[in-house]
Chains A and B, each alone.
Chain A
Amino acid sequence: MNNILVQTKGLKVTFSAEAGMFGGEARVVKAVDDVSIDIAERETYALVGESGCGKTTLGRAILRLVPTTGGQVFFRGEDLSSLSPEAMRSLRRKMQIIFQDPYASLNPRMRVREILAEPFRTHEPKMSAKDVDERIAALLSVVGMRSDTMRKYPHQFSGGQRQRIGIARALALNPEFIVCDEAVSALDVSIQAQVLNLLSDLQKEFRLTYLFITHNLSVVRHIADKVCVMFLGKAMEIGDTEDLFARPFHPYTKFLIAAAPVPDPTQRDRERLLLKGDIPSPINLPPGCRFSTRCPYAQERCRMEEPEAVALEGRAVSCHYPLV
């Protein structure tokens, strides 16, 4: 159970914002800045954070869908950057992704059959059309859809059904690892519950490992074994879900949890922890700790010196003054 399936070591992804039409300096955005995470086999690992924190980029960098500028990604101990293009291609069947927007991630001009046949055509070109159809029918039943779905186009389905088609596509080649990038964020709450249940059933049935990327903390708390809280490209705190929610060590984690609205009106008069200010621009990161401009506990040192991740009661915390 504790075998590490996916690992990143000091992973970095930078995007350069090129000098514009009117000149000006070329600037660099560190979307993922020195992130190291270990994802164990068959667990659900959550990346949480607000927009621009780099969670989606990290997920894509692990799948090598965006180029990295530093650090390494390992899959079963194998460094992905050392693989030949052919070896990487065949490894891709083990690593899949479910996208956020079920409206944008299915080609509107393809029927469901063609959408689901693509993985087989790419990776199993010799498979007969009849076998492909059988596999597609099986996939559709696994995600709870009827097999007459095959003949239809994406626009004929609701958001929840489209997301099921996206899940079927990700499952097509019996993957071991699936990145779920905000996979339920676009769905209504009653449909979100259906899809979350489906994902956890599939995890048990096919022994899947999930990297679950989301901004929704109640979903994280429900589904994840481990959590990495990100802020502006950096991992602020990594730990076991229950533990981290019960006793956040990083001030950002604490404020993020406190900011989520509570669906219980009797608690509305509780004392509220509110962060001041906005998320700083990732282009002009403040010196020192990148959270220091918003952190109510920040001291002189926080504004000067960037904190390293330190191990603390089984967690990794990047803070000079953790809330222990």
Chain B
Amino acid sequence: MSAQETILDVKNLRTLFLTRKGIVPAVDGISFSVRKGKVTGLVGESGCGKSVTSLSIMGLIPQPPGKIAGGEILFEGRDLSKLSYKEMCRVRGKDISMIFQEPMTSLNPVKTVGYQVGEVLRIHQRDVADAEVRRRVVEMLDLVGIPEPESRVRAFPHQLSGGLRQRVMIAMALICDPKLLVADEPTTALDVTIQAQVLKLMMDLQRRIGTSIILITHDLGVVAETCDDVNVMYAGSIVEQGDVFNIFRNPSHPYTRGLLRSIPDTGGTGRKERLFSIDGMVPSLTDLPPGCRFAPRCTQARESCFKEMPELVPVGEGHFVRCNRAREAC
């Protein structure tokens, strides 16, 4: 992975939340890179820290109670976590932008969608004339496949369906030609036929514009369809990292294997058989087990797994696993 040009390097990022119950290490020392022009997936179940990672990159962690306690977020060599509020405002929306999960709640209900898409442009390029903003907004709405963009610029969010609202979000995110797009569960709230449309749109635009994407999702189907590189997260840390084909063909962490095997079979051969399930549940982040965080649920855990947290070790080219037993034949 390192041989190619990267646009973002996250190094040993630690994001904490100070709560009454104690310190919650939501993201606990994760490192990953995003290759230029590629799609990098952060996958995991609720509470694994994938969204906190994206908010940390965007500088949107509410502080307090949140705090970036360590590590670096190097975007084209600049550490985003050290930027001032003002400096970060110049990056956000222009160089890096974000698509949120909920197209219903992340648009302003009292402004037209045209205004909201144009706002990004007005903030980052103050000298642009109104007519030019309007032209670019219409062009952008057209690009993301919104029918009749000339009249839709005057529509309010409630007049649009969920799929169209998510397209507006994408238009807003892409209007300043960002170098990096962070998409947090961009299709989770959408119906499956609309999800297929929106994913295709994102991939087409990605190829055309060459934006790098961080895709955050819990859906392994979406990962398989879109990502180049994958980071599997569990309880605040990355447990497996690698190229999408390696991860699906040769999953090496017991958690990744369990996740893949828990998907009800779409091939249709395993009907009515019992599904593979991972027993137990995700540990509480305020009360993490010593050693490997997955050990209490792992069928292959040995005594040593409960004692020390394993390192991320290579098991193949560009393929890393945080498991004591990774090098054994699994």
**A interface residues, Cβ below 8 angstroms from B:** 50-51, 158-161, 188-194, 196-197, 200, 215, 217-219, 221-223, 241-242, 245-246, 255-256, 258-268, 272, 274-275, 278-279
Chain B 247-286: CB-based contact to A (< 8 A → 1; otherwise 0): 0110000000011101111101011101111110110000
User: Once the chains are docked, how many angstroms separate the CA of A215 from the CA of B189?
Assistant: 12
Q: Contact between B161 and A279 (Cβ–Cβ < 8 Å)? A: yes
Top 3 A-B pairs, shortest CB-CB distance? A261-B221, A222-B264, A193-B277
A266 neighbours in B (Cβ, 8 Å): 245, 248-249
Given the known interface contacts A50-B193, A256-B192, the answer about A222 and B281 at a Cβ–Cβ threshold of 8 Å is no
- What residues of chain B lie closer than 8 Å to A278, measured between beta carbons? 161, 163-164, 194
In the complex, what distance in Å separates the CA atom of A51 from the CA atom of B223? 23
- Contact residues in B for A267 (Cβ distance below 8 Å): 224
13 extra interface residue pairs, beta carbon distance < 8 Å, beyond A158-B281, A193-B276: A51-B162, A191-B45, A215-B192, A256-B192, A259-B195, A261-B196, A263-B221, A264-B224, A265-B244, A266-B245, A267-B224, A272-B196, A278-B164
Q: List 30 A-B contacts (CB under 8 A).
A: A51-B191, A158-B282, A188-B46, A190-B258, A190-B262, A191-B45, A191-B277, A200-B272, A217-B192, A221-B265, A221-B271, A222-B264, A222-B265, A222-B271, A223-B264, A223-B272, A246-B268, A255-B193, A256-B192, A259-B195, A260-B192, A261-B224, A262-B266, A263-B223, A265-B225, A272-B196, A272-B200, A274-B200, A278-B194, A279-B191
B82: min CB distance to chain A, Å: 34
- Asked whether, in the complex, the Cβ of A261 is within 8 Å of the Cβ of B271, the reply is no
Taking a contact as CB atoms under 8 Å apart, the answer to whether A222 and B248 are in contact is: no
CA distance A191 to B263 in the complex (A): 11
Q: Find out whether the CB atom of A197 lies under 8 angstroms from the CB atom of B277.
A: yes
Most buried by A among B163, B191, B221, B222: B191
What is the interface of chain A mostly: helix, strand, loop, or mixed? helix
**B220 CB–A CB distance under 8 Å:** yes
Instruction: Check A192/B262 contact, CB under 8 A, given A222-B270, A274-B200.
Output: yes
B193 touches A263 (CB 8 A): no
Pairwise interchain contact B45-A189, C-beta atoms closer than 8 A:
yes
Task: Indicate if B219 sits at the interface (CB-CB under 8 A).
Answer: yes
B304 located at the interface, meaning its Cβ lies under 8 Å from any Cβ of chain A in the complex = no
Q: Is the CB of A221 within 8 A of B266?
A: yes
On whether the beta carbons of B248 and A263 are closer than 8 Å, the reply is yes
